[in-house]
C-alpha cells in the first residue's frame, strides 16, 4: 500500500472514531451512568451488545462516552504541548546562546525520567482528576516537541535563505514566522500524531491506576480497572474497553507512519513495501 | 574502555541528583499541601502540625532540600508515614522482584524481536515479513493493562497452565514478563528489521557474499553485528518505559516489586514512600541508559572515538 492510500485509510478510520465519540450522547443506546442492578455483569445480548458492567451499566454506551475522554485528553495534551514546546524550541534553537543551553538542560532533566512515572507522581501529588492528567501529561509532553523544533531551527538558521532574508533586512521575528516555522510543521505534525497515541495510552494508564477520570465518568482506563476484579466471571468488562484503546492507538500510529513517509520527514519506514 | 565506562558512570551521578531534585520539588513545591492530602482537610490542627514537623515540612525549603540531599548521600530516604519503617529498607526489599520482572520482560522482548526482525529483513515482502510488521504494529498499540488481563483469561483461567498472580518460581514470571515485554518487543522488532535492512545493502555485505560467505553467516556475523548499535540504543531508551511499566504490570499480577509499592504509597498517601519509589525507578533508568552507552562503545569502536 502506498503512503497516500494508507494516510487516507487511517484518516477515515480516525474520523469515524472521532465522530462516534463526538456523537456519543446521541448514538449511545443508553446513558453511560444508568444502572440496572438486576443485570449486573450480564454478558453481551441483543439489548446490550457489549454486555453490562458491575452496576448493570451498558458497556457499549460507556465505551462510546469513554472515547470522548480519551480523545479530548489526547487532543488537549498534544495541542498544548505542541504549541508550548514548538515555540520554546524554535526560539531557543534560532537564538542559540544561554537561552538554548538553559532550555535543553531542562529538557534533559525531564527526559531523565520515564515519562509515565513522572505523570504518575504528578497526578498522585496534584490529586486524581482528568484536568490534572492533562496538566501532568503536558509537563512531560512539551519536551519532545521542544527538542525537535530546537534541532530543526538550529539547523535552519545558517541556511542561505535565512541569511538572504536577514540581508534583506527582515527582523528575527519575521524570519522565524515566515521562513523557519513553515519548515517545522511537517516533522511536528508527524510527532504530534504519535504523541496523541501516547497521550491516550498514558491517560488510560493513569485512569487504570485510579489517578485519572473519577467514577462515574466513563473512561477506558477506569473501565479496565473496574473489570480487573471480574476477569474470572465477566471477561467482557475487560475485552471491549481494551479493544477501543487498541483500535484508536493503532489508527493513530498507522496515520503517523503514513504521514512520515508521505511528508518525507525521515527515510521511509519501509514497513509496507 | 574502562576509562570511558567510568566517565559515563560519573556522568550519571549529576543526572540522578537532578532527578532527585525534581522529585523533591514535586512533593514540596507543587500546589497543594501534602499534609492536607495525607490527613484530609478536616484533620485537627494539632495532628497537622505534628505530621508537618515529623516530615520536616515546617522548616524553610532550602533547609529541607539540604536535609534531603544529605539523607540521599547516606542512603536515608526518610520513614514511611504509615508503618514508620525506613523508606530505604522498604524499597530495597522490593527491588529484587522488580529486577526479576524487568529482566524477564527484557528477555521476552529480545527473544521475540531479534530473530523476528532479522528473519523479516532477510526475506522482505514474504509472509514472515508481513507477520513481523503486523506484530510490530499491533504490539505497539496493545496497552499492558489490557494484554495482562487477556493473558490471564487465556492461560490462567481457560487453559489453567500458568498461575494468575503472585511471585514464585519461573511459572509465575511468564505472564507478567510477557505482559511487560511485548510492547518493547514490538518496537525492537521494527528497529531490528529496519536496521538489518539498511545493513544488507552495504558494501561489506556484498563483499562478504562475493567471498563466498553463506547467507546465514553474513546475516549473523556481518549485518546483525552492525545493525545492533541502534537496537541497543533503543533498548536503553525503552528501558525507562519498561521500568515505568512495572507500576502497571505489578499491579495487574500482584507482583511484590517497587512498582506495586509505588501504587501502595499513592493509595496510602504515603509521600516519603512514593518519593523513594520514584527515585529508585528513575535511578534504575539512568543506570540502564548509561549501561547501553557503555555496551555500545564496547561493541563499536567508532562510537568510542567519537567521544
Pick from A78, A32, A80: which is nearest to A59 by CA? A32
Average pLDDT, chain A: 88
Cα A45 to the center of its chain, rounded Å: 33
- Cβ pair A112:B137 closer than 8 A: no
Q: Which of A117, A205, A241 sits opposite B278 (nearest CB)?
A: A117
Partner A, chain B 217-276, Cβ-Cβ below 8 Å: 240-241, 243-245, 247-248, 251-252, 262-263, 266-267, 271, 274
Cα A134 to the center of its chain, rounded Å: 10
* Rounded Cα distance, B247 and B255, in Å: 10
- Residue B298, chain A, CB below 8 Å: the answer is no
- Residue A266, chain B, CB below 8 Å: the answer is no
Q: Which of A121, A126, A127 sits opposite B278 (nearest CB)?
A: A121
Chain A residue with CA closest to B290: the answer is A112
Q: How many CB atoms lie within 10 A of CB B76?
A: 14
- Residue B57, chain A, CB below 8 Å: the answer is no
B91-306 CATH choice from 1.10.760.10, 3.90.100.10, 1.10.3720.10, 1.20.1260.10: 1.10.3720.10
Please name the residue that has the C-alpha cell 518505559.
B241
* Rounded Cα distance, A90 and A188, in Å: 11
Q: How many CB atoms lie within 10 A of CB A22?
A: 15
What's the average model confidence in pLDDT over A207-213? 90
pTM: 0.88
Pick from A104, A179, A108, A111: which is nearest to A140 by CA? A111
Contacting residues of B for A108, CB less than 8 Å apart = 15
The Cα-based distances of B167 to A90, B64, B93, B98, B100 in angstroms read 49, 38, 14, 11, 10
Q: Is the ipTM of this complex over 0.85?
A: no
DSSP of B136-181: HHHHHH--HHHHHHHHIIIIIIIS--S-SSS--SHHHHHHHHHHHH
* Rounded Cα distance, B129 and A271, in Å: 9
Bigger pLDDT: B103 vs A112? B103
Q: What is the pLDDT of residue A266?
A: 56
Rg (CA), chain B: 23
Query: For A50-84, how does the pLDDT look when each residue is reduced to its tens digit (9 = 90+)?
Result: 888 888 888 899 999 999 999 999 999 999 999 99
Question: Mean pLDDT, consecutive 10-residue segments, chain B of 307 residues?
Answer: 80 83 79 68 78 77 86 86 88 94 94 91 88 91 92 89 86 93 92 85 81 80 78 81 90 93 88 89 86 80 57
Q: Which of A117, A227, A249 sits opposite B281 (nearest CB)?
A: A117
- Residue B15, chain A, CB below 8 Å: the answer is yes
Q: Domains in chain A and their CATH numbers? A: 58-262 (1.10.3720.10)
Give residue limits of the domains in chain B. 91-306
Which residues, at least 6 apart from A118, have a Cβ–Cβ distance to it below 8 Å? A110, A136, A139, A140, B22
Contacting residues of B for A113, CB less than 8 Å apart = 19, 22, 240, 282, 285
Rg (CA), chain A: 22
Cα B40 to the center of its chain, rounded Å: 33
Burial of A15 (0-12, 13-18, 19+ CB in 10 A): exposed
Nearest chain A CA: its distance from B122 CA (Å): 14
Chain A residue with CA closest to B117: the answer is A271
Amino acid at each position: 500500500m502506498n503512503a497516500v492510500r494508507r494516510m487516507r485509510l487511517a484518516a477515515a478510520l480516525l474520523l469515524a472514531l472521532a465522530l462516534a465519540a463526538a456523537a456519543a450522547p446521541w448514538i449511545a443506546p443508553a446513558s453511560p451512568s444508568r444502572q440496572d442492578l438486576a443485570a449486573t455483569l450480564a454478558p453481551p445480548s441483543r439489548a446490550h451488545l457489549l454486555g453490562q458492567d458491575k452496576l448493570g451499566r451498558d458497556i457499549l454506551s460507556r465505551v462510546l462516552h469513554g472515547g470522548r475522554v480519551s480523545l479530548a485528553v489526547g487532543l488537549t495534551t498534544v495541542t498544548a504541548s505542541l504549541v508550548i514546546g514548538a515555540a520554546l524550541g524554535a526560539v531557543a534553537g534560532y537564538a542559540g546562546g544561554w537561552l538554548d543551553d538553559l532550555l535543553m538542560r531542562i529538557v534533559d532533566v525531564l527526559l531523565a525520567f520515564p515519562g509515565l512515572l513522572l505523570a504518575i507522581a504528578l497526578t498522585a501529588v496534584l490529586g486524581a482528576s482528568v484536568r490534572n492528567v492533562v496538566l501532568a501529561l503536558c509537563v512531560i509532553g512539551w519536551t519532545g516537541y521542544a527538542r525537535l523544533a530546537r534541532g530543526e531551527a538550529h539547523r535552519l538558521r545558517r541556511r542561505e535563505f535565512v541569511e538572504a532574508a536577514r540581508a534583506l533586512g527582515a527582523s528575527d521575528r519575521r524570519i522565524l514566522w515566515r521562513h523557519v516555522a513553515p519548515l517545522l510543521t511537517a516533522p511536528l505534525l508527524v510527532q504530534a500524531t504519535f504523541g496523541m497515541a501516547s497521550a491516550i495510552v498514558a491517560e488510560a494508564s493513569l485512569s487504570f491506576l485510579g489517578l485519572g477520570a473519577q467514577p462515574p465518568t466513563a473512561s477506558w482506563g477506569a473501565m479496565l480497572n473496574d473489570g480487573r476484579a471480574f476477569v474470572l466471571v465477566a471477561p467482557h468488562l475487560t475485552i471491549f474497553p481494551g479493544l477501543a484503546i487498541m483500535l484508536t492507538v493503532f489508527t493513530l500510529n498507522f496515520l503517523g507512519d503514513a504521514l512520515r513517509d508521505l511528508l518525507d520527514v525521515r527515510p521511509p519506514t519501509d514497513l509496507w513495501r | 574502555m574502562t576509562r570511558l565506562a567510568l566517565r559515563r558512570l560519573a556522568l550519571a551521578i549529576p543526572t540522578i541528583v537532578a532527578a532527585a531534585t525534581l522529585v523533591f520539588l514535586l512533593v514540596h513545591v507543587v500546589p497543594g499541601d501534602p499534609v492536607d492530602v495525607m490527613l484530609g482537610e478536616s484533620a485537627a490542627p494539632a495532628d497537622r502540625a505534628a505530621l508537618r514537623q515529623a516530615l520536616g515540612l515546617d522548616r524553610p525549603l532550602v533547609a529541607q532540600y539540604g536535609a534531603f540531599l544529605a539523607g540521599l548521600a547516606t542512603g536515608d530516604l526518610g520513614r514511611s508515614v504509615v508503618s514508620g519503617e525506613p523508606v530505604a529498607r522498604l524499597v530495597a526489599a522490593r527491588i529484587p522482584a522488580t529486577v526479576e520482572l524487568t529482566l524477564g520482560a527484557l528477555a521476552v522482548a529480545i527473544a521475540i524481536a531479534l530473530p523476528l526482525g532479522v528473519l523479516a529483513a532477510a526475506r522482505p515482502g514474504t509472509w514472515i515479513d508481513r507477520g513481523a510488521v503486523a506484530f510490530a504494529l499491533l504490539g505497539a498499540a496493545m496497552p499492558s493493562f489490557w494484554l495482562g488481563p487477556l493473558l490471564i483469561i487465556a492461560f490462567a483461567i481457560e487453559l489453567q497452565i500458568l498461575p494468575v498472580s503472585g511471585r514464585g518460581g519461573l511459572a509465575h514470571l511468564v505472564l507478567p514478563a510477557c505482559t511487560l515485554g511485548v510492547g518493547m518487543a514490538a518496537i525492537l522488532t521494527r528497529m531490528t528489521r529496519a536496521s538489518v535492512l539498511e545493513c544488507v545493502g552495504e558494501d561489506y555485505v556484498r563483499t562478504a557474499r562475493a567471498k563466498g560467505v553463506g547467507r546465514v553467516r553474513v546475516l549473523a556475523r556481518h549485518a546483525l553485528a552492525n545493525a545492533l548499535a541502534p537496537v541497543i540504543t533503543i533498548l536503553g531508551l525503552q528501558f525507562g518505559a519498561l521500568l515505568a511499566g512495572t507500576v502497571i504490570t505489578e499491579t495487574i499480577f500482584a507482583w511484590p516489586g517497587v512498582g506495586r509499592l509505588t501504587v501502595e504509597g499513592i493509595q496510602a498517601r504515603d509521600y516519603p514512600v512514593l518519593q523513594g519509589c520514584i527515585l529508585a525507578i528513575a535511578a534504575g533508568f539512568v543506570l540502564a541508559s548509561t549501561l547501553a552507552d557503555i555496551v555500545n562503545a564496547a561493541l563499536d569502536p567508532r562510537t568510542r572515538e567519537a567521544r
